[in-house]
Amino acid sequence: MSNSQIIFGLHSVRTALKHEGAVTELWVESRRQDRRIREVLQLAKEVGVSVNKVPKEELDTLATGGNHQGVVARTQAPAALDEASLKALLDKLDVPPFLLILDGVQDPHNLGACLRSADAAGVHAVIAPKDRSVGLGPTVCKVACGAAESVPFVQVTNLARTLRWLQDEAGVWLIGTAGETEASLFKTDLTGPLALVMGGEEKGMRRLTREACDAVVKLPMVGKVESLNVSVAAGVALFEAVRQRAG
């Protein structure tokens, strides 16, 4: 099944079961009878997913040695959207767009964490280029804890062109982040149609991406470290926007 993937762990499997049609197969350790396993079994019953009760050793094999906590599932892998789908999504919004753009994030753990923060912050879509960026996969989905299924993830062929379209046609204000600028994130207006732009793990935003931004800001740093992990920085920036937009 080319469009399916194996996930494992109580939280990941519970979350997947809450998305209708996401789980196609479920395996549970036959000796487990505790409350958390019973919750998984009840969820499976509610959505009509049959349960295979198997020895722990079989789960070890299915999870390729990962910490499965007694549950493994096969799910339909979430699919990335394209430019046309992004335009259709924005056309349907009745509130100002709130977007996260990731330029060159290559670590699946970082993408998964960014998706999770985006879901919690109410982001309408996460946008990334197809080239030199990680896509949706099992590790991303596990780290995202359900956000890969709930937050639209858009992969575009030409990020610079998409940024221009967002500005010119959708009226979105692009706020990039970089450590060497003087403007502070906390003193920047993040209300209205907004896309926060984060660079990749090593080099940050590419030149064309930075040049497309309406403003470039920094997260004020008072310690000795020079930068934050991209997923941490994204979380800080997103929730500063949430704070302002709720005011």
Q: Same structural domain for residues 33 and 110?
A: no
Say whether both 72 and 119 belong to one domain. Answer: no
Q: Are residues 223 and 136 in the same domain?
A: yes
| Residue range(s) defining the domain that contains residue 204 | 83-246
23: domain CATH number is: 3.30.1330.30
49-60 mean pLDDT: 95
Q: What percent of the chain has pLDDT over 70?
A: 98
Same domain as 130, residue 94: yes
Within 8 A by CB and 6+ apart from 241, the residues are 98, 121, 190, 194, 196
- If we measure between CA atoms, which residue out of 237, 164, 166 comes closest to residue 198? 237
Pair 112, 152 in one domain: yes
Q: Going by C-beta distance under 8 Å and a sequence separation of 6 or more, which residues neighbour residue 23? A: 13, 16, 17, 44, 47, 49, 73, 74, 75
CB 156 within 8 A of CB 127: yes
Same domain, yes or no: 129 and 64:
no
Q: Distance between CA atoms of 152 and 90, rounded to whole angstroms? A: 11
Contacts of 190 (CB under 8 A, 6+ apart): 175, 196, 240, 241, 244, 245
| Torsion angle defined by CA atoms of residues 238, 188, 170 and 160, in that order, rounded to the nearest 10 degrees | -80
pLDDT in the model for residue 89: 96
Pair 228, 118 in one domain: yes
Note whether 154 and 238 are same-domain residues: yes
Tell me the mean pLDDT in the region 66-78. Answer: 89
Which CB contacts under 8 angstroms, 24+ apart, belong to 189-194?
A: 189/244, 190/240, 190/241, 190/244, 190/245, 191/96, 191/244, 191/245, 191/247, 192/96, 193/96, 193/97, 194/96, 194/97, 194/98, 194/99, 194/241
More confident residue, 223 or 108: 108
225-235 tens-digit pLDDT? 767 899 999 99
Contact 76, 6 (CB under 8 A): no
* CB-based burial, 162-200: b 16+ in 10 Å, e otherwise: bbebbbeebebbbbbbbeeeeeebeebebeebbbbbbbb
Please tell me whether residues 175 and 238 are part of one structural domain: yes
Q: Which domain-ending residue is among 19, 50, 76? A: 76
Which range among 13-17, 140-144, 152-156 has the greatest average pLDDT? 152-156
pLDDT tens, residue by residue, 102-126: 999 999 999 999 999 999 999 999 9
| Residue 49, helix vs strand vs coil | coil
CATH number at residue 190: 3.40.1280.10
- Do residues 105 and 198 make contact, with C-beta atoms less than 8 angstroms apart? yes
144 lies in the same domain as 191 = yes
Q: Are residues 191 and 92 in the same domain?
A: yes
Over residues 173-222, the pLDDT tens digits come to 999 998 788 899 999 999 999 999 999 887 889 999 999 999 999 998 77
Number of domains making up the chain: 2
Residue at a domain's end among 58, 76, 94: 76
Check whether residue 22 and residue 47 sit in a common domain: yes
Task: Read off φ and ψ for residue 160, nearest 5 degrees.
Answer: -60, -40
Do 136 and 80 form a contact (C-beta atoms < 8 A)?
yes
pLDDT surpasses 50 at 1: no
**Domain end: 76, 108, 135, which one?**
76
* Each residue's pLDDT tens digit, 179-189: 788 899 999 99
So what's the pLDDT on residue 90? 97
Round to whole Å and give the CA distance between 158 and 80.
15
